[in-house]
Amino acid sequence: MGMGRPREFDAETALDQAMEVFWRHGYEGATIAQLTEAMGINPPSLYACFGNKEGLLKAALDRYTKLRNVWMDEVVAAPTARDVAERMLMGIADKQTDPANPPGCLLVQGGIACGTGSESVPFELAARRAENEDQLRDRFVRAKAEGDLKPTSDPAALARYVSAVSVGMGVMASSGSDREALQQVASVAVQAVEAQSADRT
């Protein structure tokens, strides 16, 4: 029994192209025709490789979060909670206005509200965002234990807050805000984390 004809395209390269289409148009706004054209393949190849449109989205999300997690590891490596927040939000201001990518964040642009039959998509995106929030929360728990954050601070609430600001910045970026505007938001937002930081003596 033979192995069959080998695939002629690289799955990860194709996923990068699909990611960009979902990023720009959202899950429902992206059509199979746009996706296949961007990926440089025909529909049967797409379906053989990824199952269906939703499977393709999940594969694209896997790739997106994988790359993003590398960066998140750098973020939480910052020495203090305040620096974690600053590194995260300033980094997001940069990344979400990087002309190499569509504006905003795939985990937001992908789809906040969806029609009947795609109800699971917003939850899928929310689950991925929650992963980042958990990572932040763990980091802030540590910061509190280290005395970096005040004993009265709530690490989970802080993580939720930073996550919420990130999402808000993503929406702003996708609707035309420039890098400077996002940096201003990040700069103000960091001050709330500062307010929860212990005084440096």
Partner DNA sequence: CCAGATATGTAGTGTTCACTACAGATGTGG
Partner DNA sequence: CCACATCTGTAGTGAACACTACATATCTGG
119/112 Cα distance (integer angstroms): 10
Residue 100 per-residue DSSP state: T
Q: How far is the CB of 50 from DNA (least distance, A)?
A: 9
Question: Taking CB within 5 to 8 Å according to partner kind, which of DNA, its own copies, none is near residue 138?
Answer: none
Q: Which two tokens stand for residue 59?
A: 């594969």
Per CB under 7 A, residues contacting DNA are 1-9, 30-33, 41-45, 47-49, 52-54, 115-116
Q: Does position 30 bind its own copies by CB under 8 A?
A: yes
What number of chain residues touch its own copies (CB under 8 A)?
Answer: 56
Residue 1 per-residue DSSP state: -
Question: Taking CB within 5 to 8 Å according to partner kind, which of DNA, its own copies, none is near residue 53?
Answer: DNA
Q: Does position 15 bind its own copies by CB under 8 A?
A: no
Of 198, 195, 170, the C-alpha closest to 105 is: 170
Q: Does position 176 bind its own copies by CB under 8 A?
A: yes
167/164 Cα distance (integer angstroms): 5
Q: Does position 194 bind its own copies by CB under 8 A?
A: yes
3-class DSSP assignment, residue 145: helix
123-135 as b/e, with b when 16 or more CB fall inside 10 Å? Answer: ebbeebbeebbeb
Question: Which of 78, 114, 141, 198 touches its own copies by CB under 8 A?
Answer: 114
* Single-letter amino acid code for the residue at 16: D
Among 3-11, 63-71, 74-82, 179-187, the segment contacting its own copies (CB under 8 A): 179-187
Q: How far is the CB of 43 from DNA (least distance, A)?
A: 3
189/92 Cα distance (integer angstroms): 12
Question: Taking CB within 5 to 8 Å according to partner kind, which of DNA, its own copies, none is near residue 176?
Answer: its own copies
* Single-letter amino acid code for the residue at 94: D
Q: Which two tokens stand for residue 122?
A: 């917003």
The site for its own copies (CB under 8 A) is made up of: 23-26, 28-31, 34, 104, 108-116, 118, 122-123, 125-126, 129, 154, 156-158, 160-161, 163-169, 171-172, 174-177, 181, 184-185, 187-192, 194-196
